[in-house]
Amino acid sequence: MFNRSVRQSYLCRSEFQTKEDLVITYLPLIKNLAGKLSIALPASLDKSDLVGSGIIGLLEAYERYDPARGVKFSSYASLRIRGAMIDEIRKVSLAPRSFFSRLRQVQEAVKALRQSLGREPTPGEIAGQLGWLETAVERVWSNYNLLAVVSLEKLLFKEMGEDGFTVEDILSTSHDTPELALIKKERQHLLAEALNELPEREKLLLSLYYYEDLTQKEIAKLMCVSTARVSQMHARAIQRLQEMLGSRL
């Protein structure tokens, strides 16, 4: 195991002389990840909260990084940054006992409206069907979206330990050890198969989000839907992937 002085020496060779230099270098990445995770952001958090959590994750990566593991610091730091943001979201959005009851109500309303309208209902139409405020419907979708994302990532990378990868990481082409590269290649193949079985609009949404690196707002504008609708579609697509992959892993 490398001690603290060796780790710091390695990081100095990577041009991170101080923690301040490190934060300045990685701040654009942190802001980008915070923007992307807004697709699963509960109302009680905003992007600045995630940026703060991301900085904490980066500093933890700085302290814990071990070059002996053969993973680039940039790859390890990205995992820690995103993990810290996910932890922050989960901490403030633990679903109350009533959440799943409300989720079932929303899903039943969506099913009924889909049959009567012949299309996907808007959050406002769902709210009208239930007699709720539209913000209440959006809050249910937001929490559901977060739960779906986290559960899929746990399913895909359940054997990877605390430093396991995310959906985005498996689609990256960064340098890995031979063992990790083999696992990621297998997961990438399974994920690609499942993606091809999704409805076209859900496939497009995930492609824009994970491959094209667009934010929720950018996807909403491109697909001519609301950001709430993007969150709803993303949650449903992730749920489908989870169901398909559950029988293959």
Structure tokens at 129: 């069907």
Q: For residue 39, count other CB atoms closer than 10 A to its CB.
A: 22
**Do 237 and 156 fall within a single domain?**
yes
Q: What is the pTM of this model?
A: 0.59
Burial of residue 78, with CB atoms counted within 10 A of its CB: 0-12 exposed, 13-18 middle, 19 or more buried = buried
List alpha helices for 157-215, DSSP H: 167-170, 178-196, 200-206
**Do 87 and 145 fall within a single domain?**
no
222 falls within a domain:
yes
**Do 231 and 163 fall within a single domain?**
yes
Backbone angles phi, psi at 118, to 5 degrees: 75, 20
Q: For residue 162, count other CB atoms closer than 10 A to its CB.
A: 6
**Do 149 and 89 fall within a single domain?**
no
**Do 90 and 194 fall within a single domain?**
no
pLDDT tens by residue, the chain, 249 residues: 334 443 443 444 355 667 888 888 899 989 888 877 776 666 667 788 889 999 999 999 888 888 887 778 888 888 889 888 888 877 766 556 677 788 889 989 988 998 999 988 888 999 999 999 998 988 888 777 777 766 666 555 544 444 444 555 544 545 455 666 666 677 778 888 888 899 999 999 988 887 777 878 889 999 998 887 888 888 888 878 877 887 766
112 falls within a domain:
no
What CATH number does the domain containing 7 carry?
1.10.1740.10
Backbone angles phi, psi at 101, to 5 degrees: -65, -45
**Do 76 and 156 fall within a single domain?**
no
Into how many domains does the chain fold?
Answer: 2
Burial of residue 119, with CB atoms counted within 10 A of its CB: 0-12 exposed, 13-18 middle, 19 or more buried = exposed
> What single-letter amino acid sits at 168?
E
**Do 155 and 56 fall within a single domain?**
no
Segments forming the whole domain that contains residue 159: 141-249
